[in-house]
């Protein structure tokens, strides 16, 4: 009998091939992530897709890989630019490093030293910008646009680039379906740009429809964040969450609401508590946004014992060790 923590089958050697093949020994490690059953629940009822196993410990390695390799093939560019205070920055820095393309990243003051560390470690040039309103010319996204214009550089622009959900449609979705399609009843993930869940959900919903089945797709947001309010057509609330990665609004080309069935909001305290429990009691270091998604996965699993819930673990807990006990 497999134990609760036994990796599920099919695993890495039999997943669909990456749509972005490479001979690079580091880039080859992106994707093809394992799925394990959550050790905190009896039986194989709650499955976790460990995107924390990517080289920079998040699923953003996939979009950096997909977007940059295709942009490089489509046209010559000398430099890559992105605005990010989060996982995307480290992922873009790593992929640009391996592709041999100089990389410039902008981030707001207050970005965690750990994340800036990732950017610099992979050789990116980091521009820290004042923490001003998004319409200010010194806002980090405006500075990135300016840098890209001035240098004729490629701007990744994860919030407006539809290649973001497309990469997940072509890559993460097929892996999810190969690993759990036969039994999956629910797919749950946190949403920021929406790229991860939108693309994955579209693939999963299409396959489920072909198989004559239903998969319920559940997006996860913070209580004081505005993806849920956009989804349900409600008034926005003042944005105030400590959970990194959850989005500010839903009016984005990367947010494909058509493939999402419902949104659930999780208080910050619960997201952090769930991330602590996953590490302390079950040996799974995960980030707070994954904690939020996991707590929703657990709610569904407990309420519906016959459900087979797949939760995406967006990133690992290592980079939050210094803040995980603060909230
Ligand atoms: C830690 C974390 N969780 C969740 C998300 C949301 O992923 P997506 O932007 O694909 O919706 C992000 C995105 O930045 C993230 O960094």
Question: What CATH number is given to the structural domain containing 289?
Answer: 3.40.50.1100
Distance CA 24, CA 31 (A): 14
**Domain C-terminal end among 130, 152, 174:** 152
| Domain annotation covers residue 176 | yes
Are the beta carbons of 176 and 200 closer than 8 angstroms? yes
From 83, 159, 168, 196, give the residue whose CB has the most ligand 1 atoms within 8 Å, as the site to mutate.
196
| Domain annotation covers residue 95 | yes
pLDDT at 42: 87
| Domain annotation covers residue 68 | no
Long-range contacts at 226-232 (CB < 8 A, ≥ 24 apart): 226/250, 227/191, 227/194, 227/255, 227/263, 228/263, 228/264, 228/265, 230/255, 230/257, 231/257, 231/260, 231/263, 232/263
Q: What are phi and psi of 148, to 5 degrees?
A: -65, -40
Distance CA 11, CA 41 (A): 21
Q: Which domain holds residue 145?
A: 78-152
Residues 311 and 189 in one domain: yes
**Domain C-terminal end among 152, 178, 196:** 152
Give the residue ranges of the chain where pLDDT is below 70.
1-13
Total domains in the fold of the chain: 2
Residues 129 and 259 in one domain: no
Residues 108 and 228 in one domain: no
pLDDT at 11: 58
- Ligand 1 pocket member 83 (CB < 6 A): no
Residues 220 and 307 in one domain: yes
Residue 30, Ramachandran bin (φ over 0: left; ψ between -120 and 50: alpha; else beta): beta
Residues 127 and 215 in one domain: no
| Domain annotation covers residue 62 | no
Q: What are phi and psi of 138, to 5 degrees?
A: -95, 5
Give pLDDT tens digits for 72-116: 888 878 899 999 988 999 999 999 999 999 999 999 998 888 889
pLDDT at 327: 73
- Ligand 1 pocket member 287 (CB < 6 A): yes
Distance 88 CA to ligand 1 centre (A): 9
Distance CA 4, CA 27 (A): 30
| Domain annotation covers residue 208 | yes
Take atom 2 of ligand 1 and give the residue whose Cα is closest: 245
- Ligand 1 pocket member 194 (CB < 6 A): yes
Whole-angstrom CA distances from 116 to 82, 85, 290, 315 are 13, 8, 21, 16
pLDDT at 63: 98
Q: Name every residue whose Cβ is closer than 8 Å to that of residue 206 and which is 6 or more positions away in sequence.
A: none
Distance CA 222, CA 161 (A): 23
Among 184, 165, 268, 135, which Cα is nearest to 8's? 184
- Ligand 1 pocket member 31 (CB < 6 A): no
| Domain annotation covers residue 158 | no
Residues 240 and 298 in one domain: yes
Residues 204 and 136 in one domain: no
Answering whether pTM is above 0.85, one says yes
pLDDT at 1: 34
**Domain C-terminal end among 152, 176, 208:** 152
Distance CA 18, CA 8 (A): 19
From 107, 193, 241, give the residue whose CB has the most ligand 1 atoms within 8 Å, as the site to mutate.
193
pLDDT at 4: 45
pLDDT at 12: 57
Residues 117 and 42 in one domain: no
| Domain annotation covers residue 72 | no
| Domain annotation covers residue 266 | yes
Residues 45 and 82 in one domain: no
Burial class (CB in 10 A: 0-12, 13-18, 19+), 87: buried
Residues 47 and 135 in one domain: no
Distance CA 109, CA 318 (A): 21
- Ligand 1 pocket member 190 (CB < 6 A): yes
Residues 169 and 29 in one domain: yes
- Ligand 1 pocket member 263 (CB < 6 A): no
Residues 309 and 174 in one domain: yes
Take atom 5 of ligand 1 and give the residue whose Cα is closest: 245
């Amino acid at each position: 009998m497999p134990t609760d923590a036994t990796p599920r089958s099919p695993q890495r050697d039999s997943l669909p091939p990456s749509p972005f093949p490479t001979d690079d020994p580091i880039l080859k490690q992106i994707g093809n992530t394992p799925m394990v059953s959550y050790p905190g629940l009896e039986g194989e009822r709650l499955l976790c897709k460990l995107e924390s196993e990517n080289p920079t410990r998040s699923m953003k390695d996939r979009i950096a890989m997909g977007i940059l390799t295709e942009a490089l093939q489509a046209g010559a560019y000398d430099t890559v630019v992105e605005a990010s205070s989060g996982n995307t920055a480290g992922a873009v820095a790593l992929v640009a490093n391996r592709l041999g393309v100089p990389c410039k990243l902008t981030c707001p003051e207050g970005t965690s030293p750990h994340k800036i560390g990732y950017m610099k470690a992979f050789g990116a040039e980091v521009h820290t910008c004042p923490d001003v309103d998004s319409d200010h010319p010194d806002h980090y996204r405006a500075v990135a646009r300016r840098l890209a214009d001035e240098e004729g550089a490629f701007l990744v622009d994860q919030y407006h680039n539809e290649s973001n959900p497309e990469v997940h449609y072509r890559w993460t979705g097929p892996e999810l379906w190969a690993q759990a399609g036969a039994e999956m009843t629910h797919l749950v993930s946190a949403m920021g740009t929406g790229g991860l869940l939108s693309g994955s959900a579209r693939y999963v919903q299409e396959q489920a429809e072909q198989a004559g089945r239903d998969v319920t797709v559940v997006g996860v947001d913070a209580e004081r964040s505005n993806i849920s309010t956009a989804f349900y057509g409600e008034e926005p609330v003042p944005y105030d969450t400590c959970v990194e990665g959850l989005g500010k609004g839903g009016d984005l080309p990367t947010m494909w609401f058509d493939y999402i069935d419902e949104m659930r909001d999780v208080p910050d305290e619960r997201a952090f508590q769930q991330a602590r429990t996953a590490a302390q009691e079950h040996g799974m270091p995960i980030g707070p946004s994954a904690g939020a998604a996991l707590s929703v996965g657990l709610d569904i699993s407990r309420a519906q014992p016959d459900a087979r819930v797949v939760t995406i673990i967006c990133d690992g807990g290592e980079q939050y060790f210094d803040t995980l006990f603060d909230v």
